[in-house]
Structure 1
Amino acid sequence: MSKVTKRKHVFNEALWDDFELPKENQTVVKLLKSVGNNLHEVTTPSGEVYLVSMPTKFRKNIWVKRGDYILVEPIAEGNKVKAEIVNILNKDSIKYYKQCKVWPKEFEDKQEIKTNTDEIFVNTNRKHQIVIESCSDTTDSESEADSASDSDKK
Protein backbone atom coordinates (compact mmCIF):
# COMPACT_ATOMS: atom_id res chain seq x y z
CA MET A 1 0.00 0.00 0.00
CA SER A 2 1.42 3.38 -0.97
CA LYS A 3 1.78 6.27 1.47
CA VAL A 4 -1.01 8.21 -0.18
CA THR A 5 -3.43 5.28 -0.04
CA LYS A 6 -2.54 4.58 3.59
CA ARG A 7 -3.00 8.24 4.53
CA LYS A 8 -6.37 8.30 2.76
CA HIS A 9 -7.63 5.22 4.63
CA VAL A 10 -6.43 6.45 8.03
CA PHE A 11 -7.93 9.90 7.46
CA ASN A 12 -11.28 8.42 6.33
CA GLU A 13 -11.30 6.13 9.37
CA ALA A 14 -10.79 9.12 11.67
CA LEU A 15 -13.64 11.06 10.02
CA TRP A 16 -15.97 8.09 9.73
CA ASP A 17 -19.50 8.94 10.84
CA ASP A 18 -20.27 5.46 12.20
CA PHE A 19 -19.20 6.17 15.77
CA GLU A 20 -18.47 3.40 18.22
CA LEU A 21 -18.97 3.76 21.94
CA PRO A 22 -15.90 3.13 24.09
CA LYS A 23 -15.42 -0.41 25.35
CA GLU A 24 -15.09 -1.14 29.08
CA ASN A 25 -11.27 -0.92 29.00
CA GLN A 26 -11.17 2.31 26.92
CA THR A 27 -11.34 5.81 28.40
CA VAL A 28 -11.73 9.35 27.11
CA VAL A 29 -8.81 11.61 28.07
CA LYS A 30 -7.79 15.19 27.34
CA LEU A 31 -4.44 15.89 25.73
CA LEU A 32 -2.25 18.24 27.77
CA LYS A 33 0.94 18.40 25.71
CA SER A 34 3.20 16.55 23.32
CA VAL A 35 6.47 15.40 24.85
CA GLY A 36 8.09 14.08 21.64
CA ASN A 37 8.74 10.70 20.03
CA ASN A 38 5.00 10.26 19.45
CA LEU A 39 4.31 10.42 23.19
CA HIS A 40 1.64 12.69 24.62
CA GLU A 41 0.79 13.70 28.16
CA VAL A 42 -2.91 13.33 28.98
CA THR A 43 -5.21 13.78 31.93
CA THR A 44 -8.11 11.54 32.88
CA PRO A 45 -11.48 12.75 34.19
CA SER A 46 -10.28 11.85 37.70
CA GLY A 47 -7.21 14.10 37.29
CA GLU A 48 -4.52 11.43 36.82
CA VAL A 49 -1.73 12.52 34.43
CA TYR A 50 0.28 10.00 32.40
CA LEU A 51 1.85 9.39 28.98
CA VAL A 52 0.18 7.73 25.99
CA SER A 53 1.77 6.58 22.75
CA MET A 54 0.52 7.19 19.25
CA PRO A 55 0.33 4.03 17.09
CA THR A 56 2.22 3.91 13.82
CA LYS A 57 -0.95 4.13 11.71
CA PHE A 58 -1.60 7.66 13.02
CA ARG A 59 1.98 8.93 12.81
CA LYS A 60 2.55 11.54 10.08
CA ASN A 61 -1.10 11.13 9.04
CA ILE A 62 -3.16 12.73 11.80
CA TRP A 63 -2.02 15.44 14.19
CA VAL A 64 -3.32 16.22 17.65
CA LYS A 65 -2.99 19.43 19.62
CA ARG A 66 -3.40 20.61 23.18
CA GLY A 67 -6.99 20.39 24.39
CA ASP A 68 -8.03 17.61 22.00
CA TYR A 69 -9.96 14.66 23.39
CA ILE A 70 -8.79 11.17 22.52
CA LEU A 71 -9.88 7.62 23.25
CA VAL A 72 -7.14 5.47 24.80
CA GLU A 73 -6.70 1.83 25.70
CA PRO A 74 -4.36 0.77 28.52
CA ILE A 75 -1.23 -1.25 27.75
CA ALA A 76 0.42 -3.70 30.13
CA GLU A 77 4.10 -3.08 29.35
CA GLY A 78 5.67 0.10 30.63
CA ASN A 79 5.57 2.19 33.76
CA LYS A 80 5.60 5.68 32.25
CA VAL A 81 3.58 5.02 29.09
CA LYS A 82 0.31 3.59 30.35
CA ALA A 83 -1.95 3.66 27.28
CA GLU A 84 -2.14 3.81 23.50
CA ILE A 85 -4.34 6.07 21.38
CA VAL A 86 -7.26 4.25 19.78
CA ASN A 87 -9.19 7.16 18.26
CA ILE A 88 -9.00 10.93 18.05
CA LEU A 89 -12.39 12.45 18.84
CA ASN A 90 -13.81 15.23 16.70
CA LYS A 91 -16.79 17.51 17.39
CA ASP A 92 -19.32 15.07 15.96
CA SER A 93 -18.08 12.09 17.97
CA ILE A 94 -18.04 14.19 21.16
CA LYS A 95 -21.65 15.21 20.46
CA TYR A 96 -22.57 11.54 19.91
CA TYR A 97 -20.88 10.51 23.19
CA LYS A 98 -22.84 13.22 25.03
CA GLN A 99 -26.13 12.02 23.53
CA CYS A 100 -25.34 8.46 24.61
CA LYS A 101 -24.36 9.73 28.07
CA VAL A 102 -20.87 8.21 28.04
CA TRP A 103 -19.05 11.56 28.02
CA PRO A 104 -17.23 12.26 31.33
CA LYS A 105 -18.94 14.97 33.38
CA GLU A 106 -15.58 16.45 34.37
CA PHE A 107 -14.87 17.32 30.71
CA GLU A 108 -18.42 18.43 29.92
CA ASP A 109 -18.30 21.71 31.85
CA LYS A 110 -15.02 22.80 30.26
CA GLN A 111 -16.23 21.92 26.76
CA GLU A 112 -19.38 24.06 26.95
CA ILE A 113 -17.57 27.18 28.20
CA LYS A 114 -15.42 27.29 25.07
CA THR A 115 -16.91 29.54 22.40
CA ASN A 116 -16.13 30.13 18.75
CA THR A 117 -14.34 33.39 19.55
CA ASP A 118 -11.78 31.47 21.64
CA GLU A 119 -10.62 29.68 18.50
CA ILE A 120 -9.95 32.87 16.51
CA PHE A 121 -6.29 33.82 16.37
CA VAL A 122 -5.60 37.49 17.01
CA ASN A 123 -2.32 38.81 15.64
CA THR A 124 -0.94 41.24 18.20
CA ASN A 125 2.16 42.09 16.17
CA ARG A 126 0.40 44.49 13.79
CA LYS A 127 -1.20 47.79 14.58
CA HIS A 128 -4.87 48.11 13.79
CA GLN A 129 -5.58 50.56 10.96
CA ILE A 130 -8.79 52.52 10.91
CA VAL A 131 -10.05 53.45 7.45
CA ILE A 132 -12.54 56.30 7.24
CA GLU A 133 -14.44 56.66 3.99
CA SER A 134 -16.60 59.65 3.18
CA CYS A 135 -20.18 58.88 2.26
CA SER A 136 -21.12 62.18 0.68
CA ASP A 137 -20.97 62.30 -3.14
CA THR A 138 -21.22 66.09 -3.34
CA THR A 139 -17.95 66.67 -1.53
CA ASP A 140 -16.15 64.23 -3.84
CA SER A 141 -17.50 65.86 -7.01
CA GLU A 142 -16.72 69.36 -5.66
CA SER A 143 -13.14 68.41 -4.83
CA GLU A 144 -12.69 66.91 -8.32
CA ALA A 145 -14.09 70.09 -9.91
CA ASP A 146 -11.72 72.22 -7.82
CA SER A 147 -8.71 70.17 -8.84
CA ALA A 148 -9.77 70.34 -12.51
CA SER A 149 -10.12 74.14 -12.36
CA ASP A 150 -6.70 74.38 -10.72
CA SER A 151 -5.13 72.40 -13.58
CA ASP A 152 -6.89 74.66 -16.17
CA LYS A 153 -5.35 77.74 -14.57
CA LYS A 154 -1.84 76.41 -15.05
Structure 2
Amino acid sequence: MSKVTKRKHVMNEAMWDDYELPKKNQSIVKVLKSRGNNLHEVTTSTGEEYLVSMPTKFRKNIWVKRGDYVLVEPITEGDKVKAEIVKIMNKDSIKYYKENNLWPKEFGDDKKQSTEVDDDNLFVNTNRVHMEQYYSDSDSSDSSDDSDGGSDNENFKK
Protein backbone atom coordinates (compact mmCIF):
# COMPACT_ATOMS: atom_id res chain seq x y z
CA MET A 1 0.00 0.00 0.00
CA SER A 2 1.40 3.38 -0.95
CA LYS A 3 1.84 6.19 1.56
CA VAL A 4 -0.95 8.22 -0.01
CA THR A 5 -3.41 5.32 0.08
CA LYS A 6 -2.50 4.53 3.68
CA ARG A 7 -2.93 8.15 4.72
CA LYS A 8 -6.32 8.29 2.98
CA HIS A 9 -7.55 5.19 4.83
CA VAL A 10 -6.26 6.38 8.20
CA MET A 11 -7.80 9.83 7.76
CA ASN A 12 -11.14 8.31 6.72
CA GLU A 13 -11.07 6.05 9.76
CA ALA A 14 -10.27 8.93 12.06
CA MET A 15 -12.75 11.40 10.58
CA TRP A 16 -15.61 8.95 10.10
CA ASP A 17 -17.18 8.56 13.50
CA ASP A 18 -18.70 5.11 13.96
CA TYR A 19 -20.16 6.11 17.33
CA GLU A 20 -18.90 2.99 19.00
CA LEU A 21 -19.13 3.08 22.77
CA PRO A 22 -15.92 2.37 24.70
CA LYS A 23 -15.24 -1.10 25.99
CA LYS A 24 -14.85 -1.77 29.73
CA ASN A 25 -11.06 -1.59 29.66
CA GLN A 26 -10.95 1.64 27.59
CA SER A 27 -11.00 5.11 29.12
CA ILE A 28 -11.22 8.74 28.05
CA VAL A 29 -8.20 10.90 28.87
CA LYS A 30 -7.07 14.46 28.17
CA VAL A 31 -3.72 15.16 26.50
CA LEU A 32 -1.48 17.37 28.64
CA LYS A 33 1.62 17.56 26.46
CA SER A 34 3.66 15.72 23.88
CA ARG A 35 6.79 13.95 25.10
CA GLY A 36 8.26 13.07 21.70
CA ASN A 37 8.74 9.68 20.02
CA ASN A 38 4.96 9.42 19.63
CA LEU A 39 4.43 9.54 23.39
CA HIS A 40 1.91 11.86 25.02
CA GLU A 41 1.38 12.70 28.67
CA VAL A 42 -2.29 12.43 29.61
CA THR A 43 -4.48 12.85 32.65
CA THR A 44 -7.52 10.81 33.62
CA SER A 45 -10.72 12.12 35.12
CA THR A 46 -9.36 11.11 38.55
CA GLY A 47 -6.21 13.20 38.06
CA GLU A 48 -3.76 10.34 37.43
CA GLU A 49 -1.05 11.27 34.91
CA TYR A 50 0.85 8.81 32.73
CA LEU A 51 2.26 8.30 29.22
CA VAL A 52 0.38 6.84 26.27
CA SER A 53 1.77 5.80 22.90
CA MET A 54 0.51 6.68 19.45
CA PRO A 55 -0.07 3.54 17.35
CA THR A 56 1.90 3.13 14.14
CA LYS A 57 -1.13 3.62 11.89
CA PHE A 58 -1.69 7.16 13.26
CA ARG A 59 1.95 8.29 13.14
CA LYS A 60 2.75 11.02 10.59
CA ASN A 61 -0.93 11.04 9.60
CA ILE A 62 -2.82 12.44 12.58
CA TRP A 63 -1.59 14.94 15.15
CA VAL A 64 -2.73 15.34 18.72
CA LYS A 65 -2.33 18.62 20.56
CA ARG A 66 -2.62 19.73 24.16
CA GLY A 67 -6.21 19.75 25.37
CA ASP A 68 -7.45 17.06 22.96
CA TYR A 69 -9.32 14.05 24.28
CA VAL A 70 -8.40 10.50 23.28
CA LEU A 71 -9.74 7.04 23.98
CA VAL A 72 -6.99 4.76 25.33
CA GLU A 73 -6.63 1.07 26.04
CA PRO A 74 -4.19 -0.19 28.71
CA ILE A 75 -1.07 -2.12 27.70
CA THR A 76 1.03 -4.38 29.89
CA GLU A 77 4.46 -4.10 28.25
CA GLY A 78 6.00 -1.07 29.92
CA ASP A 79 6.39 0.62 33.26
CA LYS A 80 6.17 4.23 32.09
CA VAL A 81 3.87 3.86 29.07
CA LYS A 82 0.61 2.51 30.43
CA ALA A 83 -1.79 2.77 27.47
CA GLU A 84 -2.13 3.10 23.72
CA ILE A 85 -4.37 5.52 21.84
CA VAL A 86 -7.35 3.79 20.24
CA LYS A 87 -9.31 6.80 18.99
CA ILE A 88 -8.86 10.54 18.79
CA MET A 89 -12.06 12.19 19.93
CA ASN A 90 -13.66 14.90 17.81
CA LYS A 91 -16.53 17.20 18.75
CA ASP A 92 -19.17 14.81 17.39
CA SER A 93 -17.90 11.82 19.35
CA ILE A 94 -17.66 13.96 22.51
CA LYS A 95 -21.26 15.04 22.00
CA TYR A 96 -22.34 11.42 21.50
CA TYR A 97 -20.53 10.31 24.68
CA LYS A 98 -22.19 13.11 26.65
CA GLU A 99 -25.63 12.14 25.35
CA ASN A 100 -25.02 8.55 26.53
CA ASN A 101 -23.70 9.72 29.94
CA LEU A 102 -20.26 8.23 29.31
CA TRP A 103 -18.37 11.53 29.43
CA PRO A 104 -16.44 12.05 32.70
CA LYS A 105 -18.00 14.90 34.68
CA GLU A 106 -14.53 16.03 35.77
CA PHE A 107 -13.70 17.07 32.20
CA GLY A 108 -16.86 19.19 31.97
CA ASP A 109 -17.26 21.32 28.87
CA ASP A 110 -13.57 22.09 28.26
CA LYS A 111 -13.88 21.55 24.51
CA LYS A 112 -16.84 23.94 24.30
CA GLN A 113 -14.93 26.70 26.08
CA SER A 114 -11.80 26.33 23.97
CA THR A 115 -13.68 26.53 20.65
CA GLU A 116 -15.51 29.77 21.42
CA VAL A 117 -13.93 32.81 19.81
CA ASP A 118 -13.15 35.58 22.25
CA ASP A 119 -11.41 38.86 21.44
CA ASP A 120 -9.26 38.53 24.55
CA ASN A 121 -7.73 35.28 23.22
CA LEU A 122 -6.76 36.73 19.82
CA PHE A 123 -3.11 37.40 19.06
CA VAL A 124 -2.04 40.97 19.65
CA ASN A 125 1.10 42.27 17.98
CA THR A 126 2.72 43.99 20.92
CA ASN A 127 5.28 45.75 18.72
CA ARG A 128 2.55 47.64 16.88
CA VAL A 129 0.52 48.42 20.00
CA HIS A 130 3.47 50.03 21.78
CA MET A 131 4.37 52.15 18.77
CA GLU A 132 0.79 53.36 18.31
CA GLN A 133 0.53 54.21 21.99
CA TYR A 134 3.88 55.97 21.84
CA TYR A 135 2.77 58.10 18.91
CA SER A 136 -0.60 58.91 20.41
CA ASP A 137 1.03 59.90 23.72
CA SER A 138 3.61 62.06 21.98
CA ASP A 139 1.00 63.79 19.80
CA SER A 140 -0.94 64.98 22.83
CA SER A 141 2.20 66.13 24.60
CA ASP A 142 3.71 68.02 21.62
CA SER A 143 2.18 71.33 22.67
CA SER A 144 3.74 71.08 26.12
CA ASP A 145 7.12 69.99 24.72
CA ASP A 146 7.32 72.93 22.26
CA SER A 147 8.13 75.32 25.08
CA ASP A 148 11.46 73.64 25.86
CA GLY A 149 12.68 73.84 22.27
CA GLY A 150 11.89 70.31 21.07
CA SER A 151 12.00 66.83 22.43
CA ASP A 152 13.47 63.46 21.68
CA ASN A 153 10.03 62.25 20.63
CA GLU A 154 9.96 64.65 17.70
CA ASN A 155 13.40 63.52 16.57
CA PHE A 156 12.26 59.90 16.75
CA LYS A 157 9.17 60.50 14.59
CA LYS A 158 11.27 62.04 11.79
Say yes or no: does 1:86 pair with 2:86: yes
**Correspondences of 1:107-122 after superposition (within 5 Å):** 107-117=107-117, 121-122=122-123
Say yes or no: does 1:67 pair with 2:67: yes
Decide which structure has the larger Cα Rg and report it: 1
Aligned-residue identity in percent: 70
- Once residues 108 and 99 of structure 2 are traced to their aligned partners in structure 1, the CA distance between those partners, rounded to angstroms, is 12
- Once residues 114 and 3 of structure 1 are traced to their aligned partners in structure 2, the CA distance between those partners, rounded to angstroms, is 33
Q: Map Cα deviations across residues 30-84 of structure 1 (whole Å, 9 max, x no partner).
A: 0000010000000000000000000000000000000000000000111100000
Q: Map Cα deviations across residues 104-153 of structure 1 (whole Å, 9 max, x no partner).
A: 00011434444512596414245268xxxxxxxxxxxxxxxxxxxxxxxx
Hey, which of these two has a bigger chunk of helix by percent? 2
Aligned pairs, number: 129
**Paired residue for 1:27?**
27
**Correspondences of 1:34-45 after superposition (within 5 Å):** 34-45=34-45
Alpha-carbon deviation of 1:19?
1.3
- Once residues 109 and 16 of structure 2 are traced to their aligned partners in structure 1, the CA distance between those partners, rounded to angstroms, is 26
**Paired residue for 2:104?**
104
Q: Map Cα deviations across residues 7-36 of structure 1 (whole Å, 9 max, x no partner).
A: 000000011132111100000000000010
- TM-score, normalising length: structure 1: 0.77
- Once residues 123 and 83 of structure 1 are traced to their aligned partners in structure 2, the CA distance between those partners, rounded to angstroms, is 39
SS of alignment partner, residue 98 of structure 1: helix
Q: What's the RMSD between the two structures over aligned residues?
A: 1.9
Assess, with a 3 A threshold, how the Cα gap between structure 1 residues 17 and 115 changes in structure 2: closer, same or farther: closer
- TM-score, normalising length: structure 2: 0.75
SS of alignment partner, residue 117 of structure 2: helix
Amino acid at match of 1:8: K
Question: Which contiguous aligned blocks of 4+ residues in structure 1 show a shift greater than 4 angstroms?
Answer: 118-121
